Chains A and B, each alone.
Chain A
Amino acid sequence: MGPLVPQGIISPEWDFIIALVIGIGFGFVLEGAGFSSSRNLVGLFYGYDFVVLRVFLTGGATAAVGILLMDYFGWIDIGQLYVQPTYWGAAIVGGLIMGLGFVTGGFCPGTSFAAASIGKMDALMFVVGTFLGAFLFGETYPLIQNFVNSGNEGGIKIYDSLGMSRGSFTFLLIIVSVGLFYFVPVIEKKVRKPEY
């Protein structure tokens, strides 16, 4: 039963090889879907291309349904999967700063690596920025650490936060995703995609 490395079914030395292979798959999907172009990514925010929404929600929903099914068949123990802790303030403020980074830089960290790998110099500049940003965060950490570490709610789950069952929330995720897939072409038809 999974997860295999945390349960000691596969030796931890293999974890780095697995990470590399997972990364290759991840990078292939990001580039293949067109996320190696900032023009395709920011289309989401100007209404001319919703490819990010399509890939992102399909991926998230597929993974959630897959993990739900694997748990149902006893192939994976959901309780042993890493769930990032919820710090409301840091998640919201950090997210807003990332949103600003998205519309100025045109990438997010994962897509910038994939785009830099095919020769996009704008993506490489973004990557350089991520190192500077990490350094800046480390240097300013004493000033903001109280805020960053406040209000830890632990690994809480969205269906509990909304007072729903896991299954019905996942169903809702699919319904909302499919609804958006039918709705976004209406906007795309009205907004011309800039050519360059």
Chain B
Amino acid sequence: MEQGVIRKTDPKKYLNPYLMGVLLGFVLIAAFYFSGRGPGASGAPKRVTAGVVAVVAPQHADHSAYFSKYVHSENGPWKSWLNFEVLGVIIGGFISGALAGRLKIKVEHSPKITSRKRLFWALIGGILFEYGASMARGCTSGAALSGIAVWATGGYVTMLAIFGGAYLFAYFFRKLWI
């Protein structure tokens, strides 16, 4: 089998990780070359949440020291670089999945746990990840990956804390995965 070719007949075949790594590097370089910043992810739910709070409870958003920063930013919470970029991530992921024959509605989980349990912990994980990312000012993308590209100390510290933390807690949640 030749490497790096997406095969429709074999949906399990992923692309070569080093090739994908180099492409990821080019994506980062392009982001910095054009926009002067790296790609992120957690910043989009943060802004959208601030935007929704401003619509549902405008006074509450105004009084919130945190949400008001995003609601009253220059372009508002919706028209943000990160929101458009994350919209792109959804489109790009879909294109890749479609080309590789991986489009399928399913709950992926270990046979040792139920779908419900998987979904419950996925929700908890999302809450925790976004909470931590808001605290650290970025997640695996915006803080760690983009930080590595521009030698940000905070990016390296965040990266080590994310992966170190995951190794630290992995033992306690092993039954979800192995």
A binding-site residues for B, Cβ under 8 Å: 2-6, 10, 15-34, 36-40, 42, 44-46, 48, 51, 54-67, 70, 75-76, 78, 80-88, 90-123, 125-139, 141-142, 144-145, 148, 153, 155-161, 166, 169-170, 173, 181, 194, 196
A20 touching B85 by the CB < 8 A rule?
Answer: yes
Q: Which B residues are in CB contact (< 8 Å) with A42?
A: 170, 177
Alpha-carbon gap, A141 to B157, bound state (A) = 22
B137 touching A76 by the CB < 8 A rule?
Answer: no
Q: Among B38, B42, B92, B160, which residue has the most Cβ atoms of chain A within 10 A?
A: B92
Look across to chain A and name the residue whose beta carbon is closest to the beta carbon of B133: A98
Q: Which A residues are in CB contact (< 8 Å) with B41?
A: 108-110, 113
A19 touching B96 by the CB < 8 A rule?
Answer: no
Which residue from B35, B140, B142, B176 sits with its C-beta under 8 Å from A19? B35
Q: Does B135 contact A (CB under 8 A)?
A: yes
Can you list 14 pairs linking A and B with CB atoms under 8 Å apart?
A15-B35, A20-B84, A42-B177, A67-B149, A90-B135, A99-B163, A100-B128, A102-B129, A107-B122, A114-B89, A121-B105, A129-B122, A138-B64, A153-B154
Which residue from B20, B159, B163 sits with its C-beta under 8 Å from A29? B20
Look across to chain A and name the residue whose beta carbon is closest to the beta carbon of B46: A134
Interface size, B (range): 35 or more
B binding-site residues for A, Cβ under 8 Å: 6, 14-15, 17-18, 20-42, 44-46, 48-50, 52-53, 64-67, 79, 81-82, 84-98, 100, 102-111, 115, 118-119, 121-170, 172-174, 176-178
Which residue from B65, B107, B176 sits with its C-beta under 8 Å from A145? B65
Q: Are A125 and B140 CB-contacts (below 8 A) given A103-B169, A157-B153? A: no
> Taking the nearest CB of chain A, how far is it from the CB of B11, in angstroms?
10
Q: Which B residues are in CB contact (< 8 Å) with A170?
A: 151
Which residue from A21, A122, A156 sits with its C-beta under 8 Å from B109? A122
Look across to chain A and name the residue whose beta carbon is closest to the beta carbon of B155: A84
Alpha-carbon gap, A95 to B155, bound state (A) = 10
Q: Which B residues are in CB contact (< 8 Å) with A130?
A: 42, 45, 126-127, 129-130
Q: Are A95 and B178 CB-contacts (below 8 A) given A81-B36, A130-B45? A: no
A100 touching B25 by the CB < 8 A rule?
Answer: no
A27 touching B129 by the CB < 8 A rule?
Answer: no
